[in-house]
Each structure stands twice: as structure tokens, then as C-alpha cells.
Structure 1
Amino acid sequence: MTQSEAMRLREEFVARLDEAMRGVPYGVANDIRRGILEELDGLDADATADRIALLGDPALIAREAQAESLNAAAAAPVVLAAAPREPVTSTRGFAIAAALALGFGGIVMPFVGWVVGAVLVFLSPLWTRGEKIVAVVAPFIVAGVSILIISLLSGFESGFEAGSSSGSSGDFDAPEVAVNPLLPTGYDLWHTALILGFVLLPASGLWLLWRLRGRAAR
């Protein structure tokens, strides 16, 4: 047999192999085809015929390749897509820290600590917008109304004392008007504001913690 005969035998076998491996995954089929061509390369016609006889029926080769590829796919570990990580601001731990910072941050670091707590509270999705506004604004409204009432009471008492003094006779010394200890002075106003700050701000943080119970990220 001539070299051209060897080439003809090789091409015919490879054509039959390609036809049989149409259902085999491309990568597997391509590896098998390349391996067989390497085995047959350089052989004369007789050696090519002998090697083809050893390789066997192309249909059988294709079935074995298909079975091996299925077994490999079944044995391959299943890689599950990693679940997206929950944002830190959506966790209960972040919400608890925010509520505590709002309630007690101003005591540890005056003003700055409270501002940080307010920002953290608004970043958490575990409270409604209304709850956040109430927690941040309500203490100042309550404190402002309380101080206003105390101021009005103090002004009324001062006016009453001035009126009593001016209405006294000039022939004799007017008796001194006793100061009512139950009515506030200017010092009392600042003292009251300080006490309200130490009471209302922690109360707002504790109220947020109470509202947080049983909630999860939205």
C-alpha cells in the first residue's frame, strides 16, 4: 500500500469518527480526534490499517466518550452561587448601635455623639421614617415646650413683684416682697434644660430599641 492509501484510510476513519461523535461534548470529541490523528500520523498504509483495527468501531468510541463525559459531569461538585451579603446598615446589630449612640452618645461626647447617633439611625432601614423623625426631634420639642412654660411662669412672677413694689406708699418703706421658692429663676431654666437632655435623649434611644423588637431587614 502506498502513502496515499494510508492517508485515505486515515481520512475515512476520522470522518466516520466525527459523524459518530456528534452528540459528544465538543471538548471531549476534539481531544479524542486529535489523539487519534497523532497516533495515525506518519504510519504507512499497513500500519495505519492495523492501528485502525485496534482502535475499533468509531460508534463504540463515541459511546464510551459520551458515557465518560456524563459520569464526569455527575461527579463534578456543584458550585452554588454565593448569596449576596447583607449590607451592614441592614443588620440588627447596626440598628442597636445606632439607637444607643442616639440615646447616650451626647452624654459621652456632647453634641458630636448625638449627631453621629442621629446619622446612624437614619441609615438603618429597620425603622420607618416617621419613627426616626420622632426619635430625633421629639426630645427637643418636649424640652423647648417645658422651658417655655417655665420661662412664662418666671416672667409672670417677676411682673407681679414689680407691680407690688410700685403700688406701695411713699410715706413709709414698702415691705419686701418675699420670693416664692416654688417659681423658677434663670438658673433653674438652664438646670431644667440639662436635666431634660439627660432624660429625654436616652429615652428616645430606648424607645427605638423597643420599636426594634421582632423586626428584620426589609
Structure 2
Amino acid sequence: MAGLTADTLREDYLTRLDEAMRGLPHGVATDIRAGILEELQGLDADATAARIARLGDPVAIAREAQAELPAGAPTAVAATVPQTPDARPAPTSTRGFAIAAALTLSFGGIVVPVVGWFVGAVLVSLCSLWNTGEKIVSIVVPFVVGGLSIIVISTMITVSAWESSDSASGTGNPPAVNNPLLPAWYDMIWVGIMGVGILLIPVSGLWLLWRLRGRTAR
């Protein structure tokens, strides 16, 4: 393997791995490929060659994965079976679909508020180039943070209304005189929380694009 670059070694190994795993269930093959790709990322040529040697023959990896499947699962196709020239990857497994899904998740809500984000979330969930964990992080985290932001903001508004009501009825402290040109403390807090929730939406899609590097359609 002298003279070969790390990228060449990695892509050659992944190509042989894809061929060997063609008969495995798609989700299983995708997870195995993603895990091996992560192991090979960032290594130089020598380290890549050494890691590939430790990983072993792709056919053996596919055979081991097949053996761990429950009874009745499809039989793995031998790596020597050539791919038919007219075979085409599923649309949801292409890089173009993945890029469009990530960008829709990031900016769809700006073009069409709320609905655009949900469309992006559906497209991301359909794409097979990301594993389940990546999809959960990119979709659920902004959704949860946004929901918590709404709860916190609603609570602060309610507390502020109570304080104003007590002051007006004479049962609480007299209201402080605030400068109308300056935001109140609770305004700054809820704006900050809302800003974090909004910022996480485009960041999650851009993170998916970063995770997409080096992955190819299967």
C-alpha cells in the first residue's frame, strides 16, 4: 500500500465493505459503515492501513453481522457478485437528498415558519446517510429546547403579572420606576432563552452537513 493516501485507502475499504454488506438489512449495513468510517476518519496513511488490517476482511465483517441477525433475516450476498450497471441508489440515500434535508431543517422555518422546520425534520428522518442517534440529536434537541423556552417564558410572564397585580392592589411592594428605554431584567432573560432555541435550529442542520462528510450513496 506504499504511496497510497489515507483517503484512497479509506474509500477503497469502504467500497469493498459496501459490496460485502449488500445483502444485509439496510439499517444494519448503514450503522456498521458509519461506525467504521468514524474509526478511519482523521488518520494518516500508515495509521489508516494499520486500522484496516485490524478491522479485517469486509466479507468477514458482513458474515459476522449476518450471523448475529435473527432467524429469517436475508442472506448476505457474496462480495464477488458485481453490481448491475443500471442499479441506482434510493433517492433518500443520496448526498443531494441529504444536503437538501439538512438545509431545509436549518432554514425551512425561516422561509415558511414552523411548517418549514417540520418538513426538514421529516426529510432528515427519511435520509439513510445519518444514523438514528444523529437524527434524534438534530431534531429532538432544538424541539425540546424550544419547548422549554416557551415554558420558562410563560412562567416569567405569569410571575411578572402577579407581581404587578400585588403592587397595584397595595398588598405588595410598590412597583419600581423603570426607564422605558431600557429592557427589564426578565425581558433580557426570555429574549436570551428564545435566542438560544432559535439558534439551535440552523446549527443542528449545519451539524448534520458536517457529519455527512465522506459518506456516499449506497
TM norm structure 1: 0.48
TM norm structure 2: 0.48
